[in-house]
């Protein structure tokens, strides 16, 4: 990210800016739009949300671009008509507010599309439309990335476009440490994130209603944090970008403070918990809200130097980033994609890990699955090939699906246990991904 600030200032001096179109006005979307008010060289061209009447009200305290906006609803008009209207509004300096994801991604003025929805299906629609309209894409939607990210990346690459998960969330922050360590020739032992609340697989929006209110968070989002699903998705995202697998299904989630990380997340031969080296994992302790990377070296001179620099006696050493700024760091990914056509973090050529679906309670034939952060299921990270060989269905695919059999609490769901919407864009992209990578 070195020099990004200078590049943005130079762009501003030239009277230019990077134009972004943002989908989603939830917690992450609003935070990002607020941040962009203060970032030189990046301008909001459009904002999309399925309820167009909510956008102006939610953004009333923000100044976007010139401060002038134009609401363009998709109902009652042909796409060609609203597309002409949107492009004219953008040309005249107005920010387009719309309920149409296709309109947002097709806007001539937009250079980069940002997905801040958190919905796997919306993420699939946005990705397909962004690629069709030759736009780089920055995703805050880790739920979509761990479900169809490799396919999106392959399609974007074919068109010479950037697909990246945004800086600021744990996967991007951890990828910075990984790139730093591996560029210096160190060997990675483990990579992980901190979890800043107790793990409770039984958590629901009801049990967390009061806690969510205190934290100012959506109850479903808070549930995905507490029941561990979000940590699974974040580490699967990192796994798919680096090839590092979990040691066990669901990871260990050991209780460990910062000064214990290098000894806990070590091989069993060294007194640690890991059978597999390297491994992705998470820690419950004072590492949150940071990320950590454990590394080692066989070079005795470097070992002596690391000891001198107060990294300890080894054999394993810690790199630790004590923070992540969530959506506030996303402008860095926008600039990196625009100036250098580089991703902050994106999948390798093919999936490595998958987030599987597990019953949160006893479920019955005919029940509808409410998805991530709900009452019926939670997610666990698993090796992709294991998940495929056991026909385990990805968590991102199951929202709205109907059970065809009874399922016991704690049982992983297979594709034969559910009836899902096969006409969805998400389903079609997932099938393409499975056919491509097997």
For the record, the structure tokens of 322 come out as 């004590």
Per-position b or e across 246-255, b if 16+ CB within 10 A of its CB:
bbbbbbbbbe
For the record, the structure tokens of 59 come out as 């953004």
239 burial class (0-12, 13-18, 19+ CB within 10 angstroms)? buried
Query: What kind and span of H or E run contains 235?
Result: helix 229-242
Sheet holding 136-139, edge to edge: 69-72, 95-98, 42-48, 18-23, 112-115, 136-139, 163-165
Query: What kind and span of H or E run contains 102?
Result: helix 101-106
- pLDDT for 56 equals 83
Q: Model's pTM, two decimal places?
A: 0.96
Local structure of 97: helix, strand or coil: strand
Mean pLDDT per block of 10 residues along the chain (438 residues) reads 90 96 94 93 95 86 82 89 94 94 95 96 96 97 98 98 97 98 98 91 96 89 95 98 98 96 97 98 94 98 97 97 94 97 97 98 97 97 97 97 98 97 96 93
- pLDDT for 188 equals 98
Instruction: Give the integer Cα–Cα distance in Å for 142 and 379.
Output: 13
Please name which of 8, 103, 23 lies closest in space to residue 327, comparing C-alpha atoms.
23
Distances 23 to 17, 59, 60, 150 between C-alpha atoms, Å: 19, 13, 17, 21
Instruction: Give the integer Cα–Cα distance in Å for 46 and 193.
Output: 33
* Cβ proximity of 182 and 188 under 8 Å: yes
- pLDDT for 216 equals 84
- pLDDT for 105 equals 96
- pLDDT for 370 equals 95
Query: Largest alpha-carbon pair distance within the chain?
Result: 72
- pLDDT for 1 equals 65
């Amino acid at each position: 990210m070195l020099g990004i600030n200078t590049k943005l200032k130079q762009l501003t001096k030239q009277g230019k800016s990077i134009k972004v179109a943002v989908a989603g006005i939830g917690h992450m979307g609003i935070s990002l739009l607020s941040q962009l008010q203060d970032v030189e060289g990046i301008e909001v061209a459009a904002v999309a949300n399925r309820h167009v009447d909510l956008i102006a009200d939610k953004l009333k305290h923000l100044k976007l671009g010139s401060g002038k906006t134009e609401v363009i609803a998709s109902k009652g008009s042909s796409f060609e008509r609203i597309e002409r209207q949107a492009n004219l509004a953008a040309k005249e300096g107005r920010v387009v507010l719309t309920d149409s994801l296709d309109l947002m991604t097709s806007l001539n003025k937009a250079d980069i599309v940002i997905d801040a929805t958190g919905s796997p299906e919306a993420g699939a629609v946005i990705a397909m439309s962004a690629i069709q309209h030759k736009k780089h894409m920055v995703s805050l939607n880790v739920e979509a990335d761990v479900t169809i990210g490799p396919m999106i990346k392959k399609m974007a690459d074919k068109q010479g476009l950037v697909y990246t998960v945004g800086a600021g969330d744990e996967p991007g922050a951890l990828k910075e440490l990984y790139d730093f360590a591996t560029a210096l020739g160190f060997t990675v032992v483990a990579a992980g994130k901190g979890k800043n609340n107790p793990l409770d697989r039984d958590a629901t929006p009801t049990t967390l209603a009061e806690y969510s209110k205190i934290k100012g968070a959506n109850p479903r989002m808070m549930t995905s944090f507490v029941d561990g699903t979000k940590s699974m998705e974040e580490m699967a995202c990192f796994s798919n970008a680096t090839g590092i697998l979990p040691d066990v299904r669901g990871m260990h989630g050991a209780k460990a403070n910062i000064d214990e990380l290098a000894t806990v997340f070590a091989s069993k031969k060294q007194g640690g918990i890991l059978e597999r080296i390297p491994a992705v994992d998470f820690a419950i302790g004072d590492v949150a809200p940071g990320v950590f990377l454990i590394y080692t070296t066989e070079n005795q001179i470097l070992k002596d130097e690391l000891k001198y620099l107060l990294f300890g006696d080894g054999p394993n050493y810690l790199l630790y980033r004590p923070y992540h700024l969530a959506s506030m760091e996303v402008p860095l990914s926008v600039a990196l994609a625009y100036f250098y056509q580089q991703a902050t973090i994106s999948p390798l050529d093919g999936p490595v890990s998958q987030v599987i679906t597990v019953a949160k309670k006893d479920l019955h034939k005919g029940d509808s699955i409410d998805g991530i952060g709900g009452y019926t299921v939670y997610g666990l990270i698993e090796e992709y090939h294991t998940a495929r060989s056991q026909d385990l269905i990805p968590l991102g695919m199951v929202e709205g699906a109907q059970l065809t059999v009874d399922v016991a609490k704690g049982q992983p769901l297979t594709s034969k246990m559910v009836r899902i919407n096969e006409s969805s864009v998400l389903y079609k992209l997932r099938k393409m991904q499975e056919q491509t990578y097997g």
